[in-house]
Structure 1
Amino acid sequence: MTAHDRTLQQPVAARAALSARGLSKRFGDFQAIDDVTLEVAEGTIHALIGPNGAGKSTLFGLLTKFIPPTSGTITLGGTDITRFKPEEVVRQGMVRSFQISAVFPHLSLRDNVRVALQHKHGLDRQFWLPERRLNALNGEVDALLDKVGLSDLAGRLASEVSYGRKRALELATTLALDPQVMLLDEPMAGMASADIGTIADLIRRSGEGRTIIMVEHNLDVVEDLCDRVTVLARGAVLAEGSFDEIRASQEVRESYMGAGHD
């Protein structure tokens, strides 16, 4: 399913899965995020793009509550989460990934996913669990590894697999938390060109029934995957629309995309 097909399937007035109103963040005298208003429709893949230093990662930190806002409000599925802590946001159904792959290198792929499932099932704070309690998660573990194409590597240590497969594993651990909203911070960063198509396809399939917001510099990936695009520059929203609308904007082309991008 292409991004165009997904857009056609969206209702005319899709409900907002995540929204921000007048969101700002100052670090001393530096205005990192300046009065950003953002609305992400339920069931879509929404990209945040912009030049380095535009404020994309800071905005991600604000939305997921790793960074407190200076002003503004954030709403997740109708709930005001502006004053929530990061762990409370996870319980509300929103999970983020980071630019650097965050997996346990000395655990197997299967055990990495099982750790995430322990959190989902409330077992992560229980020590000395009997093996049978952990084995009860094996069916879910296998299903998640299969979904991201890692079933044949389930017993391998995470340190032994390629970077692209680490990113696929990270996607599996994110899905293990069963989020309704997923924030992916540069999922293609540092990835070999041969792996980009595979991970893009995994993100597309993972997005079925979920909302995804992604920071991504690879504009070919954005064009292929995303229903809507918000362009940031100097901490503010420069433009928003479909990829074709963004590409047609002279202001965006001059400030970020470059006149040569077709």
Structure 2
Amino acid sequence: MKLYAIFGNPVAHSISPTIHNYAFMHLKFPGCYTKIFVEDGSKLKERFFALQLRGLNITVPHKEWAYKLADEVFGIAKEVEAVNTWYSKDGKIYAYNTDAPGFYESIKEYEFSNILILGAGGTAKAIALYLKEQGYDPQILNRSEKRLSFFKERGFSCYTWDEFSVQKYDLIINTTSAGLTDNSLPAPQDILLPLMQQAKYAVDVIYNKLTPFLALAKDLGLTYKDGTDMLLYQGVLAFEIFTDFIYEKEEIIKLMRRSLQL
């Protein structure tokens, strides 16, 4: 039996074990996936090997630690400097970021050009850089200057709450944890309300919850979605890595989507 897990803080809400274990079972793959609370990100590698895991997903707030502690980093994770997937082979940890392509897959059906990303953490980095690779020019709005240097150095337009003046955006993406365990908004209402009154779409990376951000979008008549599809698609990509790409992607998608409906 090959063991897999998700590490995070918080992690109790995670449904990653549900989607992975359902796919393992139906594909008859000898795997078991669980969730483990990890408070100290610097201990990720130590815990990973102590538990003899074959693969790992990493969620907030440890994605930057996951990048630093990996032996080899692939794809956009190198630029993002944030990792959400580890795979162990021959005693080494190989690291990937499946958040970014997973997110993009979840919004491809929308028609948009102007994008605003709320927040400046690891998920925001991944989404911003991946969208830029696809030809978009997302802008970043964060509470403070902290973490904005990463985006400025890479040519993104960045704003703090204090210096921001409302513009028109088609798509507004919340990458902050606002609304995950409380009823807060990702930015002050006097900023968010006029922004969202002009927008077409609102997407929150938090899943299985109508956050205050999405509730506002709903009240204003926007097309909105939570992070469930992003979770699904990033999970499919991680599953492919965990299982050495031996299964058809469409079959994995079908199984994981079915698991979310149980």
- So what's the TM-score if we normalise by structure 2? 0.29
Higher relative contact order (CA 8 A, sep 6+): 1
